Chain A
Amino acid sequence: MKPALRNAVRIPIPPMGSRPFGSWPVKNWSTAHLVARCVLLLGPLLTLFPAPGPTPVWAWVVGIVIGLAGARQPDGFAGLGVILLTVAVWVMAPGDDLPVNLLLSAAVLVLVHVCGILASYGPPEMRLGQELLTRWSLRGIALVAGSGLVFGLARIVGSAGPSSVGWGSGVGAAVLLLLTARAALVGPRSNN
């Protein structure tokens, strides 16, 4: 007998007909994917809750649309829409001080962003490992903690006058744009 036949092993594989393809897909989704898609669906609405003052109706409608789009396609532009929608709502929010709710809104934004990343690692049936989930949970917590640091700094600097915050933000935006442009235009070093 050929070695291939001798070495081949029988593996426990479900019989044909049990494939998820062609059937209602959600029942075959992994739990992590299901949770991530739910967060992507509800995330845009959750980011609107902490905003002070009454939230306009159009923002809720846009939030629902963006949530549906993000849950359907986590890699699409819905993620950018969530950020812009939140920014727009906070621009229109009354009051010039820095409320603590801001941190809650930033945390939800991070949560939606991380869930978008996790959901775009593969098809919904693919199992996301515990180690991967733990790693991204820690990263998300670190990012939210960083925003808390910025919040504290903004409170301190804000007491010195709004112009300082403005200039600091402007410099940060310019640096970030430059970095993005460099990443987009300059390719990685070749190893061939």
Chain B
Amino acid sequence: MSPRSAPVSPMARATLETRQRLRFGSSMTMPSRGARTRSGERPASRSWSASPALVRAALGSAAGLTLAVVLGEPDLVVLVSPLAAYAALALLRRPHLTPRADTRVDHRLLVEGEGTTWRLALTDADDVEHLTRIVEHTRFLVSDPPHGAVGGLVRGVPNNGAPGGGAPGKTAPGDTETGDNESGKDRVGDLPISPRRWGLHDLGDQVIVGSSAWAGFRWRPTPPPSGGRLTVLPEPSPFDADAELPQPDGLVGAHRSRRIGDGSEFSGIRVFGAGDRLRRINWRVSLRTDELHVDTMRAEQDSGVLLVIDAFADHGRSGGVDGSPSSLDLTVRAAAALAEHHLRTGDRVGLRVMNGGNLVVGYGAGIHHLVRIRSALAQVRPSTPREGSSDRLRFPCPPGTVVFVLSPMLHQTSVNATATLASRGLPLTLIDTLPAGIDVAGGSDHRDLHDLAWRMRLLERDALLRQLSRVGCPVVPWRGPGTIDDVMRRLSRRAALPRELSR
């Protein structure tokens, strides 16, 4: 499932409107997007209107009293007198101020599975007795309570610089706030939310309804304040690797180089030469041999790591951070884990996304670069390349760069790109991110046919992976910690062997 591109689909809107109309009346349905007045202007805010309770009480009691007069039935007066009293009290507490609503989210940048609070602040809300807020259900965004409807009695408190309120530090008379961010305490209308999958999540539409005292009048802002968008970073899969990268060639880093340098790893002892540091003199050997000897050390260097991820399609059904992963979930979380591991060991990491967008993140190091890569991963959407654009795929790989291709290998373009990279002689590892047990048939009537086709496709894929292995591209399934250890050791041994270069 790809992250949503539009805030609300027409189908979801229609479903929600129907549900609300069935549940609590037609006057509290979701407003139509882009609703405008007859003059073509979008209404800024809707004022109070009489509630159905007031209308039925007024009409019912008026009808009863009229009949009592016409028919001379005093018992009708007694019968409808409570409703008449209710209508009178509701009219007496008629609201005079039109409130303003604003919403904000405590955190716009989250990791999947983390939570934040979507707050609601009201100003000029002296006449609001009860507030109801209903947030549209969107996939991969859960709320507490799960149905997304919160409400309660509103108590007026001074507004200290809340959105839509007065100046900070000043108390504006008549301002009422429902969300108290500084104390961290949830108020009426605040809704804890949590994205359950990485990506860009548009917060759904919402309905805010205020009721006056005695529920005689209702207020609903039109259009309701929009929630905006959450950027949800992928949670890196558990990962660790003991093996070193095969060809470290940078300046500084944590990997032992084959070259002699200024590191801390002992390499050997040789005769003192001009320019050698005095602190490197090995006095024990020098005294024994009557000649100055120095210790030599291995250089410690960093390495370039390129992560190439296949986002041409998303196979399987994503269950979010709590459920089973899809192929793109595995790919993105594995890429985040690899990036985190190599950036923490001091390597330079780059990212290349293979899809219709051709997203590239250049090489960099450090924690800030990790956030940059995870933010880029959060923007990944499955898309197929345009016709002919797959031939123009470019991979920025300086010599010695270690390449990890994370792919389910079900798209011809990703197979071609992997074979091209392998032919350049780079240390390349293909990490298979196709999850096991994908149900391709779903609820289809032709389940046997779908399963048969899927099995045939997997056989073709297995043959393809064997061919890639034969041309020097090791293939390992993603299994978390230790996934790349064996491969890296083999690549390191291969890199240490003398090679024949063609001119």
Residues of A within 8 A of B (CB): 1-2, 4-5, 7-21, 25, 28, 72-77, 79-80, 83-84, 86-87, 90-91, 93, 98-99, 102-103, 105-106, 109-110, 113, 116-117, 119-129, 131-132, 135, 139, 143-144, 146-147, 150-151, 154, 157-158, 162-163, 165-170, 172-173, 176-177, 179-180, 182-184, 187-192
- Pick 16 A–B contacts, CB within 8 A, sort by A: A1-B371, A12-B144, A16-B196, A19-B142, A75-B27, A80-B56, A83-B63, A83-B64, A109-B79, A109-B83, A110-B86, A120-B24, A120-B53, A143-B82, A188-B94, A189-B96
Interface membership of B397, Cβ < 8 A: no
Residue from B137, B143, B153 in contact with A13 in the complex, judged by beta carbons closer than 8 Å? B143
CB nearest to A126 among chain B residues: B149
Of the listed residues A17, A113, A170, A180, the one surrounded by the most CB atoms of chain B closer than 10 A to its CB is A180
Interface stretch, picked from B112-120, B337-345, B483-491, is B112-120
Inter-chain contact B98/A188, CB cutoff 8 Å: yes
Interface membership of B62, Cβ < 8 A: yes
Inter-chain contact A102/B60, CB cutoff 8 Å: no
Interface membership of B464, Cβ < 8 A: no
- Give chain B nearest CB distance to A110 CB in angstroms: 5
Q: Which residues of A contact B134 (CB under 8 A)?
A: 122-123, 126
Bound Cα distance from A32 to B150, whole angstroms: 14
Bound Cα distance from A87 to B81, whole angstroms: 12
Interface stretch, picked from B69-77, B356-364, B411-419, is B69-77
CB nearest to B45 among chain A residues: A192
Interface membership of B306, Cβ < 8 A: no
Of the listed residues A74, A179, A183, A184, the one surrounded by the most CB atoms of chain B closer than 10 A to its CB is A183
Interface membership of B130, Cβ < 8 A: yes
Known contacts A122-B132, A190-B98; A79/B53 CB under 8 A: yes
Residues of B within 8 A of A (CB): 19-28, 47-48, 50-69, 71-88, 91, 94-98, 106-111, 113-116, 124, 130, 132, 134, 137, 140, 142-147, 149-153, 192, 194, 196, 209, 211, 214-215, 217, 233, 319-320, 322-323, 367, 371
A5-B111, A106-B78, A162-B74 known; 7 new pairs, CB 8 Å cut-off, are A7-B107, A105-B79, A113-B86, A126-B145, A154-B77, A168-B77, A169-B69
CB nearest to A6 among chain B residues: B107
Residue from B58, B76, B130 in contact with A87 in the complex, judged by beta carbons closer than 8 Å? B76
- Give chain A nearest CB distance to B159 CB in angstroms: 14
Residue from B77, B91, B114 in contact with A9 in the complex, judged by beta carbons closer than 8 Å? B114
Inter-chain contact B111/A21, CB cutoff 8 Å: no
Q: Which residues of B contact A16 (CB under 8 A)?
A: 140, 142, 196, 319-320, 322-323
- Give chain A nearest CB distance to B97 CB in angstroms: 5
- Give chain A nearest CB distance to B129 CB in angstroms: 9
Inter-chain contact B82/A106, CB cutoff 8 Å: yes
- Give chain B nearest CB distance to A25 CB in angstroms: 8
Inter-chain contact B57/A126, CB cutoff 8 Å: no
Q: Which residues of B contact A76 (CB under 8 A)?
A: 25-26, 52
Bound Cα distance from A4 to B344, whole angstroms: 21
Bound Cα distance from A124 to B322, whole angstroms: 27
Inter-chain contact B153/A132, CB cutoff 8 Å: yes
Q: Which residues of A contact B114 (CB under 8 A)?
A: 5, 8-10
Known contacts A122-B151, A125-B145; A106/B81 CB under 8 A: yes
Inter-chain contact A180/B62, CB cutoff 8 Å: yes
Residue from A10, A129, A176 in contact with B115 in the complex, judged by beta carbons closer than 8 Å? A10
Q: Which residues of B contact A166 (CB under 8 A)?
A: 68-69, 72, 74
Q: Which residues of A contact B47 (CB under 8 A)?
A: 187-188, 190
Residue from B65, B132, B194 in contact with A126 in the complex, judged by beta carbons closer than 8 Å? B132
Q: Which residues of B contact A98 (CB under 8 A)?
A: 74-75, 78
Residue from B50, B65, B72, B142 in contact with A183 in the complex, judged by beta carbons closer than 8 Å? B50
- Give chain B nearest CB distance to A156 CB in angstroms: 11
Q: Which residues of B contact A2 (CB under 8 A)?
A: 109, 371
Q: Which residues of B contact A176 (CB under 8 A)?
A: 58, 61-62, 65, 84, 87-88
